[in-house]
């Protein structure tokens, strides 16, 4: 059998993710296969600026009887149905190491990005997203400052496909007494690199990506968006700060503005890709709030969108992915090129000739 010259847009291969120490199988040739699987419904309903039946709109009553403030920008409140509770419990003794268990305390909050029911981050102005960033910073300081909170996870589930139960623009903040599994894995690998090299893993990675330009989607003075070399989801992206710092409280005013701008630039491209309100789960990874020094941490934000071929075809993590390891078809380089070439003006404004 003859040996072919390797082409990462044609030949199957594995890529290593240094953040969590795991591999992903890339099968770019499979992207050519015909699709006869499930397609999601892409019927986007016209949303009102204010929905009287929405639990998150200003002035409305939530399901537990609490009335929202008549907020005019960002609104944060304790989740009415939290996954974590602020209670101390007495645990039973368990001597079998196969049945390990530990108590978990925490606080869950909801953050409404805007009083407008019909907006999402890519449709908001940069100045409005800056207020969201400021709220994230305030929540990180408030929750992380509590003695029993060792990690603050800021995230957003956008779209019904991602399990979002309410279309009003909002995210969540889960803070807890332990450091979650994926964060702990990331921390271990960041620390290993830092101790071996004296440098930030993500600073070194971003420097190499900026030199190659193959997977860079967009950048500004302070941040860059890259489709990671090890990306799992078809159009997965990572926002990485160009300066090495650990958490959102260390950002300068200019960096906060640039962070808001890069979030908009990235999410607008998502919407423009298939001309739909692009679903995703996103989340910020930053230093734990355990009181320890963490020079190894480098601020970054993950975006995991599920759409694969169009607004109606979704990537599923099943079969091989659940039993063996993560797998993707379209190459990260191809995904980055597709996103990079998209306009920075939202398709709704282009359609309506509004610039």
Which residues are catalytically annotated? 170
Question: How many CB atoms sit inside 10 A of residue 58's CB?
Answer: 18
For residues 138 and 211, what is the distance between their CA atoms, to the nearest angstrom? 35
Q: 10 Å Cβ neighbour count for 250?
A: 15
Strand order of the β-sheet with 22-26 is: 13-17, 22-26, 326-328
Yes or no: say if 315 and 308 are a contact pair by the CB < 8 Å rule: yes
Measure the CA angle with vertex 187, ends 98 and 231; round to 5°. Answer: 100
Please tell me whether residue 317 adopts helix, strand or coil conformation.
coil
Q: Is 112 part of any known ligand binding site?
A: no
Q: Are residues 326 and 317 in contact, defined by beta-carbon separation less than 8 angstroms?
A: yes
Q: Quote the CA–CA distance of 114 and 61 in Å, as a whole number.
A: 17
Residues 6+ apart with CB under 8 A from 90: none
Burial of 61 (C-beta count, 10 Å sphere; 0-12/13-18/19+): exposed
Measured in Å, how far apart are the chain's first and last C-alpha atoms?
Answer: 57
CA distance 7 to 2: 15
Q: Exposure of 70 by Cβ count < 10 A (0-12 exposed, 13-18 middle, 19+ buried)?
A: exposed
Confirm or deny that 57 is annotated as ligand binding. Answer: yes
Instruction: Describe the crossing of helices 201-212 and 181-197 by its angle, rounded to 10 degrees.
Output: 80
What is the spatial distance between Cα 352 and Cα 129, in angstroms, rounded to a whole number? 23
Work out the angle at residue 322's Cα, subtended by the Cα atoms of residues 311 and 104, and round it to the nearest 5 degrees: 100
Which residues contribute to the annotated binding site for Zn(2+)? 54, 57, 117, 168
Which residues contribute to the annotated binding site? 54, 57, 117, 168
């Amino acid at each position: 059998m003859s040996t072919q010259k390797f082409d990462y847009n044609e030949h199957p291969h594995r890529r290593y993710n240094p953040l969590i120490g795991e591999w992903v199988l890339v099968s770019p040739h499979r992207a050519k296969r015909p699709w006869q699987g499930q397609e999601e419904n892409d019927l986007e309903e016209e949303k009102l600026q204010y929905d009287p039946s929405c639990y998150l709109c200003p002035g409305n009553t939530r399901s537990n009887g609490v009335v929202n403030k008549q907020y005019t920008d960002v609104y944060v409140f304790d989740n009415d149905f939290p996954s974590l509770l602020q209670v101390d419990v007495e645990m039973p003794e368990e001597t079998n190491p196969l049945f390990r268990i530990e108590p978990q305390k925490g606080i869950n909050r909801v953050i409404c990005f805007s009083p407008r029911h019909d907006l999402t981050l890519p449709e908001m102005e940069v100045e409005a997203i800056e207020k969201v960033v400021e709220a994230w910073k305030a929540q990180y300081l408030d929750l992380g400052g509590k003695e029993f909170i060792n990690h603050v996870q800021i995230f957003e589930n956008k779209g019904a496909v991602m399990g979002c139960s309410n279309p009003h623009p909002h995210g969540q903040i889960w803070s807890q007494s332990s450091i979650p599994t994926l964060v702990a894995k990331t921390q271990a690998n960041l620390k290993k690199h830092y101790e071996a090299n004296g440098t930030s893993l993500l600073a070194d990675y971003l420097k190499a990506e900026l030199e190659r330009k193959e997977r860079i989607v967009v950048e500004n003075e302070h941040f860059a968006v890259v489709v990671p070399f090890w990306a799992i989801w078809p159009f997965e992206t990572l926002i990485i700060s160009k300066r090495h710092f650990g958490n959102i409280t260390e950002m300068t005013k200019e960096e906060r503005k640039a962070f808001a701008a890069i979030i908009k630039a990235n999410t607008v491209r998502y919407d423009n890709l298939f001309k739909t309100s692009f679903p995703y789960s996103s989340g910020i990874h930053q230093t734990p709030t355990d009181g320890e020094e963490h020079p190894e941490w480098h601020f970054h934000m993950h975006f995991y969108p599920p759409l694969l071929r169009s607004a109606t075809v979704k990537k599923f993590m099943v079969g091989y992915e659940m039993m063996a390891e993560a797998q993707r078809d379209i190459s990260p380089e191809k995904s980055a090129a597709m996103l990079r070439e998209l306009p920075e003006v939202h398709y709704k404004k282009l359609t309506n000739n509004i610039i």
